[in-house]
Structure 1
Amino acid sequence: MNNKFPFRLYLVISEKNCIYFPIEEVVKQAIIGGVDVIQLREKNMETPTFIKHAKQIKAITTHYGIPLIINDNLAVANAINSFGIHVGQQDKSPAFIKNQNTNLTVGYSIEYKQQLLDTENIKHTDYIAASPVFRTPTKTNTITEWGYHGIEYIKTISDKPLVGIGSMNKQTAYNTIKAGADCLAVVSAICASKNPQKAALEIRNEIEKAL
C-alpha cells in the first residue's frame, strides 16, 4: 500500500449527482459504508460559493477522519486547507500546482497513453486516475476507454498509485482491482443510490475480496 495515497474507495461527489438525499447525508452514509477519501467536484460553482460549500463538507469529513480533495479549483483547496486537489487535461497542471502549494496531494486524470510519458507532470503527481475505465454518462468527453487491459498497461508504465474511475460499481470493482488498480473512484453507484451506505459497503467488499 502506498503511504502517500493508501486509499481504496474514493467518492467523487457533487450536489447534482445526489438524487435521493442531500449531499451532506450522502457523504455521511458513504463514509460509514467504507469510503475512505472524498473528492468534491463542483465545476459550475463560483469560487466564493464553492469555498462555503467545501467548508461544510470538510466539517463532515474531518469529523470522520476522512481526507477531502477538491476538483480543479486551487483557490478553494487553499482556502479550506484541503488534503488534495485533482486535475485533468483542461485544468492547471500538476507541476504548476506543486509549485504553488507543495503540501497538496495532487491527483491527475490520465485520458490517453501519451500523458504517461509527460515526465514533468507525472513526477509532480501523487496518484493518477485512469479516466474512464468504462464510458459513463457523467463523463461526456471520453478520449480513451481504458478497460481492464488499459489498467494493466498503465501499471507497466507507472508506479504511481492508480485510481480507476468510470462505471465503477459492485459489478466492475473486483476485476478493476485485479487488473491492477489500487483504488476505485465512484460517482453514480453511490451518489444516485437509494441506500448510499449499502452501495459503498458492497463496493468496498468487492475491493477487499480482490486484494
Structure 2
Amino acid sequence: MKKPFDLSLYLVLDPDLCRQHSMVETAREAVAGGVTIVQVRHKHASTAERVALARSVKEALRDTAALIVMNDDIEAAVQAEVDAVHIGQRDMSPALARERIGADMLLGLSVNSESVARAVDPRVVDYAGIGPVFATPTKPDHEQPIGFAGLARIVAACPVPTVAIGGLKRQHVSEVFAAGAHGLAVVSAICGTPDPRQSASDLRAAIQHAHSGL
C-alpha cells in the first residue's frame, strides 16, 4: 500500500553540497528540523552505490515519519525498498515506470509546462515536481525557468499534488504556496548550510506562517 505523503518541505540531497555533514547526516538533521520528504539524488553514483546510500538514509530516518525518494534509478529504488521514485521528462515513460515499481511505490514526475501537466495521468503519477522556478547551479541541464507566474499556471493545470523546485529559498515560501503548490523542494537552502536542522526549522516556520496567511 502506498504511504500518505506530505510535500510541504521536500529535501533533495546533493553529494557536493553535503560534503560538510554527509548526505546521511544532512538528511537526519533536516528531518529533525521539519523536512517531510528526502530525495536521494546522486547523478554520478552506480546503482549499487545508490542502493547503499538509500539504505543508510533509511536507517538514519527509521524512527521518523519522513518518506525517502530515489531520483531516476528505478532499480535502486526497488532494491532499497524506498517509498518513492522520481523521474524526469527525459527518463522512461511514467506508465513504464509504474509497471516496473508496482502499485505500492509512489511515483513523482518532473513537469515544466502546462501541456505536460495536463497530460499527467493521476492513475499512474502520484505527485509532480514543477519547475525550475529559478535557474539553479545544482542542476545545470535544467529547462527554462518558469517563475512564479508560470508555477501558478502549471499547478492549476496539474491533476496531482505539486511541489515547486528550482533555486527556492526561505524568502520564496509564501509565493510558492500563493501559487497553489503543495510544497517546495530545496537543495542548497539546507544542504551545505552550517546547520541543516536550523535551516529546515526556519523553512518550516516560514511554511507555517504562509499557511496562516492563506
> 1:145 offset after TM fit, Å?
1.2
* Partner residue, 2:110: 109
| SS of residue matched to 1:167 | coil
Distance in structure 1 (CA, Å) of the matches to 2:166 and 2:13: 13
Who is 2:28 aligned against?
28
Listed as ranges, the gaps of 5+ residues in structure 2 are none
For residues 153 and 123 of structure 2, what CA distance do their matches in structure 1 show? Answer: 19
Cα distance in 1 for partners of 2:119, 2:175 equals 28
State how 1:74-85 maps to structure 2 within 5 Å.
74-85=74-85
Question: Residue in 2 aligned with 1:178?
Answer: 178
Please identify, of 124-133 and 57-66, the stretch whose mean Cα deviation from structure 2 is larger. 57-66
Alignment partner, residue 189 of structure 2: 189
Equivalent residue pairs, number? 208
Check whether the contact 2:6–2:36 (CA below 8 A) recurs between aligned residues.
no
In 2, are the aligned partners of 1:112 and 1:144 still within 8 Å (CA)? no
**Partner of 2:190: helix, strand, or coil?**
helix
**1:149 paired to 2:181:** no
What are the Cα deviations for residues 135-191 of structure 1, in whole angstroms up to 9, with x where unaligned?
111121232312111121123212311100111111111211111110111101100
Summarize deviations over 1:85-127 as a string: whole Å, max 9, x none.
00001212211111121211000001233312334x5541100
Residue pair 1:4, 1:126 contacting (<8 A) in 2 also: no
Q: Is the 8 A contact 2:133 2:146 kept in 1?
A: yes
Matching residue's letter, 1:40: V
1:204 aligned partner: 204
Matched-pair contact (CA < 8 Å) for 1:19–1:193: no
TM-score, length-scaled by structure 1: 0.92
Q: Distance in 1 between matches of 2:49 and 2:140?
A: 25
Give secondary structure in 1 for the equivalent of 2:45.
coil
Secondary structure at 2:135 match in 1? coil
SS in 2 for 1:115: helix
1: CA distance, partners of 2:118 / 2:158: 9
The aligned residue for residue 71 of structure 1 is 71
Partner of 2:88: 88
Q: Kindly provide the CA deviation profile for residues 64-101 of structure 1, in whole angstroms up to 9, marking residues without a partner as x.
A: 23110100111111111110000001212211111121
| Structure 2 counterpart SS, 1:188 | coil
Amino acid corresponding to residue 92 of structure 2 in structure 1: K
Amino acid at match of 2:38: I
Secondary structure (helix, strand or coil) at the match of 1:26 reads helix
* Runs of 5+ unmatched residues, structure 1: none
* Preserved CA contact (<8 Å) 1:174 1:207: yes
Identical counterparts, % of pairs: 30
User: Structure 2 length normalisation: TM-score?
Assistant: 0.91
SS of the residue corresponding to residue 15 of structure 1 reads: coil
Q: Distance in 2 between the 1:117 and 1:36 partners?
A: 26
- 2:162 corresponds in structure 1 to 162
1:58 aligns with 2:58: yes
1:4 positional shift: 4.3
